[in-house]
Chains A and B, each alone.
Chain A
Amino acid sequence: MAQIPFAPDVFTWPAEKPQLIGSRCRSCAAVTFPAQDSCPRCGKLEMEQRLLPREGTLWTWTTQEFLPKEPYASGETPETFKPFAVGLVQLGDDVRVEGRLTISKADEIRFGMGLELVIYPFRTDEDGTQVMSYAFAPSEGGN
């Protein structure tokens, strides 16, 4: 079955240990996700690509319990929609990245829990192609 990323240049794929692709300022070391050409801290055009750490800890989170309007493109309907959780995950000392969690129940989620990047099938198109996205799954570590 064909698997394609939902957008190019967001994560390394296929890869045994996939990583998000960010950028880092050569001048002031600010890190962004995704990669961008200009630095949000110093404004210089000296950004270089940086693969972000795969492991992190949960800084904050919420749940998404209603079907988002367009441009949400999961293929879900109000009948098939499955609520999910979203976190802001601190990856090393680099940056905090917003991403879906693989767990969605509020009582399973705790601040500071260890998380690692996973790539998962977000949507299956009519021709059977799986469109892959990134999420964070519980891991060892955390605090």
Chain B
Amino acid sequence: MEDVAIIGVGIHPFGRFGNKSAIQMGAEAVRSALADAGLEWKQVQFAFGGSCEVDNPDAVVGLLGLTGIPFMDVYNGCATAATALELTADAIRYGKYDIGLAVGMDKHAFGAFTADPVHYSAPPWYGDIGHFLTTKFFGMKINRYMHDHGISHRTLARVAAKNYRNGVLNPNAFRRKALTEDEILTSQMLNFPLTKYMFCSPDEGAAAIILCRADIARQYTSNPIYLRASTLRTRTYGAHEVHSSWAAVEHAEAPTVFASKAAYETAGIGPEDVDVIQVQDTDSGAEIMHMAENGFCADGDQEKLLAEGATEIGGRLPVNTDGGLIANGEPVGASGLRQIHELVLQLRGQAGDRQVPGNPRVGYAQLYGAPGTAGVSIVTT
């Protein structure tokens, strides 16, 4: 099995861009990744494209050049980008190709996501009576977690304040204004205990990653970043998951726990080795729970860790250094590749004002999405 390296990263800023299409944003992200790798489009041998809204992300070739390569489209909820990355990496690991592209793009309408619940294996009436809302699930999950593990409302606000603060330092972020903890706590309650400024928003953007066989990476870059693990898992019986009208009484861990364990095992790396962390912060409660689900702390320790600033850029466990979903918003297909883009900049020492000090060498990214899918990636210098 071949090792895999990242030799180019590109991003189209996240936010709102008027009539600009998702495909145009995707093409810009790819061109920026090609420039970063010093490659021409015709050197890319294959690609995986991820999107929620775009039927054919492969249409991006119409703007990049019709080279005839295999270009496969994926959608896997909020884990779409992790899926595109995993499949691209696997094709290289198995020796099928040398150089490939993972690209994600999306352009969402304003407000919370909606769809036909039946497509999530929920009952047809589930939306009619007002239950088909991801935000409601996140409110229920963190409310119980706070009850069980002594997490305060102030800590929810600390997470969001930190991510907005990091977003100010990120020129590609959607929300680039710092908010105080009190502004966050007193903003409109949407789903108790989560207020308006504790949630991310669907938005627009694209990101692209170019991968190659590790043994040829130095032909293209002097600082390759190695993808040590990329894993995906779905929910097991007993997990309390989004878009379900019921849950079992018996308890199982969330899918992230299984994806995380598998990634650590594959990489031969433990949570104690990780220098910079990206987790799915759909809301500030999700960031808190995902810290524990990914092995970075015990349940309940977040209260103290956040109070002492451990998850700040200069802290012991820097989390969502680019502002995460809370500051960047979520174009679903691009979100996980945005995480990898940030980790690569951090490990190369190119993250500018938000650079984690001390030459970080190991980066970790996690996605969680409907209807119970998690993706984890581990990268190293």
Q: Is B309 an interface residue (CB 8 A)?
A: no
Cβ–Cβ < 8 Å partners of B240 in chain A: 60, 88, 96
Q: Tell me the count of chain A residues lying within 8 A, CB to CB, of chain B.
A: 43
Kindly identify, within residues 10 to 69 of chain A, every residue whose CB is under 8 Å from any CB belonging to chain B: 10, 22, 30-34, 40-41, 59-66, 68-69
Kindly identify, within residues 182 to 217 of chain B, every residue whose CB is under 8 Å from any CB belonging to chain A: 188-194
B131 touches A86 (CB 8 A): yes
Q: Is A79 an interface residue (CB 8 A)?
A: no
| Stretch of B90-98, B116-124, B222-230, B359-367 with 4 or more beta carbons under 8 angstroms from chain A | B116-124
A73 touches B133 (CB 8 A): no
| Stretch of B49-57, B245-253, B312-320 with 4 or more beta carbons under 8 angstroms from chain A | B245-253
Would you give the shortest CB distance from A88 to chain B, in whole angstroms?
Answer: 6
Q: Is A4 an interface residue (CB 8 A)?
A: no
B111 touches A62 (CB 8 A): no
Q: Among B117, B129, B136, B144, which residue has its beta carbon within 8 angstroms of that of A122?
A: B129
Q: Among A6, A84, A85, A96, which residue has its beta carbon within 8 angstroms of that of B249?
A: A96
Q: Among A6, A32, A88, which residue has its beta carbon within 8 angstroms of that of B129?
A: A6
Q: Is A78 an interface residue (CB 8 A)?
A: no
B191 touches A96 (CB 8 A): no
B192 touches A98 (CB 8 A): no
| In the bound complex, CA of A84 to CA of B131 (Å) | 11
Nearest B residue to A74, CB-CB: B130
Interface of B: prevailing SS:
loop
Q: A63 with B189: in contact, given A6-B128, A40-B237, A86-B140 (CB under 8 Å)? A: yes
Cβ–Cβ < 8 Å partners of A85 in chain B: 192
A65 touches B189 (CB 8 A): yes
| In the bound complex, CA of A63 to CA of B140 (Å) | 9
B147 touches A62 (CB 8 A): no
Would you give the shortest CB distance from B353 to chain A, in whole angstroms?
Answer: 35
B246 touches A72 (CB 8 A): no
Nearest B residue to A111, CB-CB: B147
Q: Is B139 an interface residue (CB 8 A)?
A: yes
Cβ–Cβ < 8 Å partners of B125 in chain A: 6-7, 10
Would you give the shortest CB distance from B205 to chain A, in whole angstroms?
Answer: 22
Q: Is B114 an interface residue (CB 8 A)?
A: yes
Cβ–Cβ < 8 Å partners of A96 in chain B: 240, 246-249
Known: A70-B127, A73-B128. 18 other contacts (CB 8 A): A7-B125, A10-B123, A30-B237, A30-B248, A31-B248, A40-B248, A60-B140, A63-B189, A64-B130, A72-B127, A72-B128, A72-B129, A74-B130, A86-B131, A86-B136, A95-B246, A95-B248, A97-B246
Residues of B at the A interface (CB closer than 8 Å) are 111-112, 114, 116-117, 123-125, 127-133, 136, 139-141, 143-144, 147, 188-194, 237, 240, 244-249
Nearest 3 pairs of A and B residues by beta carbon: A62-B139, A71-B127, A60-B144
Could you write out 13 A-B pairs with CB less than 8 Å apart?
A: A30-B237, A33-B246, A62-B136, A68-B112, A68-B133, A69-B111, A72-B128, A73-B129, A74-B129, A86-B131, A95-B246, A100-B129, A111-B147
